[in-house]
Structure 1
Amino acid sequence: MRMQWGTVFPRKNREGKVSSWVARYTSPLDHSKKISKSFPIGQKALAYQWLEEEHALVDRAEMGLARWTPPSERVEREHGPTFEEYANQWIREYRLADGRRAEGATRRNLEADVSHLIRAFGGMEIGKIRRKELRDWYDAEHPEGPHSFHRQCARMKRILKAAEDGSVGEWGKLIQKSPWSFRLPPLPESGREDVEPVTPAELKKLYHAMPCYDRLIVYIAAVVGGLRIGEACALRKSDIDLDRLEMHVAHSVNRGSDDLGPNELCRTKTKKSNRVVPIPEVIVPFIREHIGRWCDPDDPMLFQARRADILSPTTVQQQFRAARKAAGRTDITFHTLRATHATMLLICGGTLRECMDELGHTSERIAIQHYQRIVPEHRRQAVERMAERMIA
């Protein structure tokens, strides 16, 4: 019987009766060779299952996620993989929703979360982890904090589901049904959403309190595209088009896909984050002055590091922590400038869709929950206008 990938066909004896089933497919290393395996007459379903599992191994090899070897060369294990072996392979194959590898802080969080799980389950064979072991771990103290614990639970759920589906490595299906049956613990309120946006006067104080050669980054983040700190550090002079009043947010600064080594220009956090945003005319003189006064013509970067090739987000964070004291806003972070941009854009008449495009977001929930803040004065004015219209 011909399938979409590979073949399962009957093998007959001299009497013409089916004596076994053969599953067969073409070797991905040498298309002139066939890979096959025989199954007893009553195991036709197992033949299809084996072919399906082999198909998954070939697919992962073609995607560069694992090395394919013929079944005859695979070393049979007395036991299944340990949780540590399986979890590390899961990290290597981990992809974001858009198919890209995790980078920067996203990858750091991923590896940190899994390291906590490995400390708890690392030496256990993954196929022997039961609900009791999970419950003991779930109910224990987690000093790393509630946000980390929430992520750990989500990672554990996905890892065990992968072991059920056989979607990681070359091990195939390792468990019949995932033993995970717990609700993800609730996330505590971060309080970040309650931080008020930066006022114009505070923004000006922040600008003047920053080092003169980097202070433009404050205005850029607050009024041009609501940039993340890594996106702002990654701006090149060629990303700025003052004739068309546009800025291309094309990169973000981090330490690469493995989060090691020096800072480098990497992809933006998501595909949507790669965007073109308008430059307000009021900031053009500040940009021209910055480029003319502080930019080395031979250095392509807009914000140029003093002792490195690329300005580090860590350096800007340190500068900003000092500047916020001068502005009297020790409650804010650089990310507050991004929230300020979103909030003031909406207050000044921008639509939610325009706000999402500015920030590089696809989720309305995230845009509203994390970036649209309440300005008490504006809320009071809006309520007064509404009441006057309703009662007048």
Structure 2
Amino acid sequence: MASNTHTTRRAFGCVLEKKDKNGRTIGWMAQYADPKKKRHKVYRQFPTAALAREWLEGEELLVRAYKRGTADWTHPRERDARERARGVLFMDWADEWMDKWGRFKPKSAREPLAPATLRRKRLLLHRVKQVFGMRALEEIGVADVNRWLDTCGLDATPKREAYIMLRAIMRCAVQPPDGRPALLDRSPCMAPIPRRVLSDKSLMVEVSAADAARIKSFMPAYTAVSVNVLLAFGLRIGELCALRVDDFDFDRMVVHIRHSIRRGPDDTGELRLAELKTVGSMDALPIPPQLVPVLREHIDRFTDAPRPGAMLLRPAKSRVMSDRTLRTQLEKAAVKAGRPDVTPHAFRATAISRIIHEGGEIKDAQLFARHTDPLVTVRFYERTRGEQTRRELSELAYGSMFTAPRSRLELEHEYERAQRELARWADRCRSLHTLLEQDTPGGVSANG
């Protein structure tokens, strides 16, 4: 049977005449050996032999430059895709990035971000698109990004988060996760990520018993119990708003932490019970006996109990208490009580720090706080211990120079405190000595 191709050999590659079953020429295919993959060919079809030969001549120059080591060689298919990508607008690529990768948790198997987190991320993306949206990706340079960082007008934390997102968008343009050819040769995001600023959670504000009582006195009656519950269990505000009366087991003297609160898709709609921040946050916490009468009085006066599913905090116009409303109530009460620095998180911080002040170790604080990451507890522990130590040293330094002689009663109190501190460290030494006496994991005794 007659062949439907006719080959014209050249020093570099060849041109094949393609014919149909009737012998009519339908095109010309140029081909040459792939310089990077043995036994692979590179093909391209043309309507005329002249165009095929012209293309081969250009490819020959590229292959020679690659073999001399003066330039890299990429497959024509990849070059074509990159050429098509030229002119892709930032807004189009950013939207595709958000849809395919940005809306999922990092390092997760396609687990979506929480609605509130996703909404905040989309707002930041909108701010970035207002600046770069109508520009082609390859037109955005390092100077453009640096200028935006200097003049964007965002507060420190949103600016940091927006820049981290912009870096991720540009990094994916350089190396698309779906394997397509690169849209950019390099990212214009060369500036370092702005430093993280201290948040209110990092300030280690603590609440005294007198402060707590004053703040509670300025709270609305139906949410005043929040102060007690936050201090007793060290809850996050969303966990408090999600508590139901049924979560309290007064027979076993525990409260079950099962939910937080969340709105619907895109962080819209009514508040509802939702999963906790982390799996490790789910727990059953012991109820302090002193809290029981306070809880029972609140449940009798302000809840729908014994109706199943009755919420501990029952707002007037919705089923679930809004964390924003409760946060506002707590902050206004703190201002009236003369403690404008107290935030809702300060109650959780106080509960955790009391454990540390009373001699608890890192594992005790982590267990109480339900931190899945021990590093979070370690940082908290170091700040609390550091502040306590600095206060003691400050009192010692000042007192040794300016304070009048102490009375016998003051000396007795200080002596008692020192004795308690000594006993605590003695217990610690005994625990360490016991560990030293035990065999090490390698099977070698600590005593030799």
> TM above 0.5, one fold?
yes
Shift of 1:240: 2.2
* Distance in 2 (alpha carbons) for counterparts of 1:183 and 1:157: 10
Deviation at 1:159, TM superposition (A): 1.6
| Pairwise CA distance, 1:377 | 9.5
Deviations for 1:281-335, whole angstroms, at most 9, x for unmatched residues? 2212222222222211336222112111211112112211232134221111111
CA contact (8 A) 1:154 1:184 kept: yes
RMSD: 3.8
Measured in 2, the distance between the counterparts of 1:267 and 1:80 equals 43
The residue aligned with 2:137 is 126
Q: How does 1:137-286 map to 2 (within 5 A)?
A: 137-138=148-149, 140-167=150-177, 173-190=182-199, 193-224=202-233, 226-286=234-294
5 Å-filtered alignment, 1:90-129, equals 90-92=97-99, 93-94=101-102, 95-97=104-106, 99=108, 100-129=111-140
Q: Residue type matched to 2:361 in 1?
A: T
Q: Is the 8 A contact 1:193 1:369 kept in 2?
A: no
Instruction: Tell me, in whole angstroms, the C-alpha distance in 2 between the residues paired with 1:89 and 1:290.
Output: 51
Greater Rg over alpha carbons, structure: 2
CA contact (8 A) 1:101 1:257 kept: no
Given the alignment of the two structures, is residue 82 of structure 1 paired with residue 89 of structure 2, yes or no?
yes
CA contact (8 A) 1:222 1:338 kept: yes
The answer to whether the 8 A contact 1:79-1:125 is kept is yes
Q: Is the 8 A contact 1:256 1:266 kept in 2?
A: no
Q: Distance in 2 between matches of 1:45 and 1:273?
A: 53
**More moved, 121-130 vs 141-150:** 121-130
- Distance in 2, Cα, partners of 1:47 & 1:177: 32
Residues 234-277 of structure 1 deviation map (CA, whole Å, 9 limit, x = unaligned): 11223222223322322222323411122122222233333333
* Greater Cα shift, 299-308 or 159-168: 159-168
Q: Which runs of 5+ in 2 are unaligned?
A: 6-12, 14-30, 41-82, 397-416, 423-448
1:20-35 to structure 2, matched below 5 A, reads: none
- Cα-to-partner distance string for 1:20-52 (whole Å, 9 max, x where unaligned): xxxxxxxxxxxxxxxxxxx9752886999xxxx
Aligned twin of 1:380:
392
In the alignment, which residue of structure 2 is the partner of 1:295? 303
Separation in 1 of the partners of 2:350 and 2:256? Answer: 20
- Partner secondary structure for residue 308 of structure 1: coil
> C-alpha displacement at 1:193, in angstroms?
3.2
More helix by percentage = 2
**Contact 1:303–1:311 (CA under 8 A) maintained in structure 2:** yes
Deviation of residue 83 (structure 1)? 1.9
Asked whether the 8 Å contact 2:246–2:308 carries over to 1, the reply is no
**TM, length-normalised to structure 2:** 0.63
Q: Find out whether 1:313 has 2:323 as its counterpart.
A: yes
Q: Specify which of 308, 333, 353 is matched with residue 343 of structure 2.
A: 333
Who is 2:332 aligned against?
322
Cα 1:261–1:173, aligned 2, differ >3 Å: closer, same or farther? farther
**Equivalents in 2 of 1:117, 1:46: separation in Å?**
45
Amino acid of the residue matched to residue 42 of structure 1?
D
Q: Is the 8 A contact 2:218 2:333 kept in 1?
A: yes
- Identity, % of aligned pairs? 27
Measured in 1, the distance between the counterparts of 2:356 and 2:39 equals 60
Which whole-Å CA distance do the structure 2 matches of 1:160 and 1:249 have between them?
A: 41
Change over 3 Å in CA distance of 1:41–1:278 after alignment to 2? farther
Q: Distance in 2 between matches of 1:294 and 1:311?
A: 13
- Residue 42 of structure 1, aligned match among 34, 55, 61: 34
Answer 1 or 2: higher relative contact order, Cα 8 Å, separation at least 6.
1
Partners of 1:214 and 1:303 within 8 A in 2: yes
CA distance in 2, matches of 1:40, 1:264: 64
Q: Is the 8 A contact 1:80 1:174 kept in 2?
A: no
